[in-house]
A = this chain, B = another copy of it.
Amino acid sequence: MTNQQQQAASVDPVTRPLRVALLGCGVVGSEVVRLLNEQGRDLGARVGRPLELVGIAVRRLNRTRPGIDPALFTTDAEELVRREDVDLVVEVIGGIEPARSLILAAMEHGASVVTANKALLAEDGSTLFTAAEKAGVDLYFEAAVAGAIPIIRPLRESLVGDEITSVIGIVNGTTNFILDKMDIDGAGFAETLAEAQELGYAEADPTADIEGFDAAAKAAILSSLAFHSRVTGADVYREGITDVTSTDIASAREMGCVVKLLAICQLSEVDPAAPDAERTVSVRVHPAMIPRSHPLAGVGGAYNAVFVESRSAGRLMFYGPGAGGPPTASAVLGDLVTVARNRLRGAPGPGESSYARRTVSPIGDVVTRYHLSLEVADVAGVLATIALCFAEHEVSIQTVRQQGREGDAQLVIVTHRATDAALSATVEALRGLDVVQQVISVMRVEGE
């Protein structure tokens, strides 16, 4: 028996502190420790019982971490999550393993878990939820999506009496910073990414952000909650922002739009011809043009926002800092206080709700509008040829703008609503036309 276990055993279980184990002590973890120390009295008062940090699992012990009792550190995370005296486990390691095994072991040993791990929840959330249900413990994850912005509880609880029809989020601060900068400065993608890396807004390996993997994980989590169904990261259609050019952003500006990387989760509309048919959901992450008048258009810099539409509540928006140590720690501690309260009351909070079992429709079925730039031969009849190509694929053109240059010209076309499949077939056919020199860009137009 360790000293701590002896101490635990000798204390009245009704008044003893609730014991917290922390997995990971990076940017978020160290902030969680700092706040537990500084605001411990308040947090205890809000729980109704003190919270006591009893261990911190780290990969290496030889880093100095000022202000934290060195005796708390251990490299044996396996042992920490299995300790009998641990009530609550906070996981801020990230990634799939060992995070998943540790969370499962913690729950099996009776601890409630708070995690910020979007990648794991998106890949294998159902395993975690099932284990939490079986163990009768909580699994909370407010920090996993949009940092400190309360969006998980609103979806899980506040809007649980409503029918959510659409969730559109700017949920990745790095890409929003880059696109916003490109819009303001007129600069290209590569130089803006380099600037973002210099300023600490993008990581040395920015793949997860700029290729949309991070946003896709969050889209999976948001759509699971919004539609009471299981959606994993693999279900999410994904395009990053690496192909967005300063020309795209200038084109958007000419249309009164901005380009944003959006996570879009939508419930299909009721088909009047088959009102009882099962409705499906579409979940996708890609850059899109949205009108500057849309509430999401004004979300600048590294901020995040989530725009929710529901049948009764109408249009709601949640806005705030999407990342960073203190905001993420705020979300983690909000969850920690909540699961601690649930523990004292002897009943966990809401678990997984996947009863609706909606299927995710393929990207080809998604209906939206498109903005296309084409380089075409500047000869008579070009527009007629191209218009015919759209018509043959049942994509209706809303506006065409022609910009002549010596020898060839540029056509900017905005379509009415069409399926992604129809649009893709149109683009394929356009590429085969003699009069089309190049399909310069294709971008979806959302939020109208």
Residues of A within 8 A of B (CB): 31, 35, 39, 42-43, 45-46, 142, 147-150, 152-154, 157-163, 228, 295, 298, 310-321, 326-327, 329-338, 341-342, 345-348, 350, 353, 355-356
Contact = CB atoms under 8 A, between A and B. Distances in A.
Contact of A327 (B314, B327, B356): B314
30 contacts: A35-B161, A42-B163, A43-B161, A46-B160, A46-B161, A142-B158, A148-B316, A149-B316, A150-B154, A150-B159, A150-B316, A153-B154, A153-B157, A154-B154, A157-B338, A160-B333, A160-B337, A161-B332, A161-B333, A162-B330, A311-B330, A312-B333, A314-B320, A314-B326, A315-B320, A315-B321, A316-B321, A317-B317, A319-B319, A346-B347
Contacts of A150: 150, 153-154, 157-159, 316
Contact of A355 (B31, B46, B162, B353): B46
Nearest to A341: B350
Given A150-B157, A312-B327, 5 more contacts: A46-B353, A160-B334, A311-B330, A313-B320, A345-B348
B317 A320 contact: yes
Contacts of A160: 46, 333-334, 337-338
Copies in the complex: 2
B312 A35 contact: yes
Contacts of A337: 157, 160-161
A420 B336 CA distance: 39
B46 A312 contact: no
Contacts of A326: 311-314
A404 to B, nearest CB: 39
A105 B321 CA distance: 44
Nearest to A346: B347
Contacts of A228: 42, 45-46
B336 A319 contact: no
Contacts of A350: 338, 341
Contacts of A152: 158
A153 B315 CA distance: 18
A343 to B, nearest CB: 10
B319 A316 contact: yes
A161 B339 CA distance: 11
B298 A312 contact: no
Nearest to A348: B345
Contacts of A158: 142, 150, 152-153, 331, 334
Given A39-B163, A43-B161, A345-B348, A320 B331 contact: no
B355 A327 contact: no
A158 B314 CA distance: 22
A310 B326 CA distance: 10
Contacts of A149: 316
A400 B379 CA distance: 63
A313 B341 contact: no
Contacts of A45: 228, 355-356
Which of A163, A316, A333, A356 has most chain B Cβ within 10 Å? A316
A335 B356 CA distance: 20
B321 A314 contact: yes
Contact of A342 (B162, B314, B347): B347
B161 A336 contact: yes
A350 B45 CA distance: 13
Contacts of A353: 46
Contacts of A318: 316-319
Given A314-B327, A350-B341, A334 B162 contact: yes
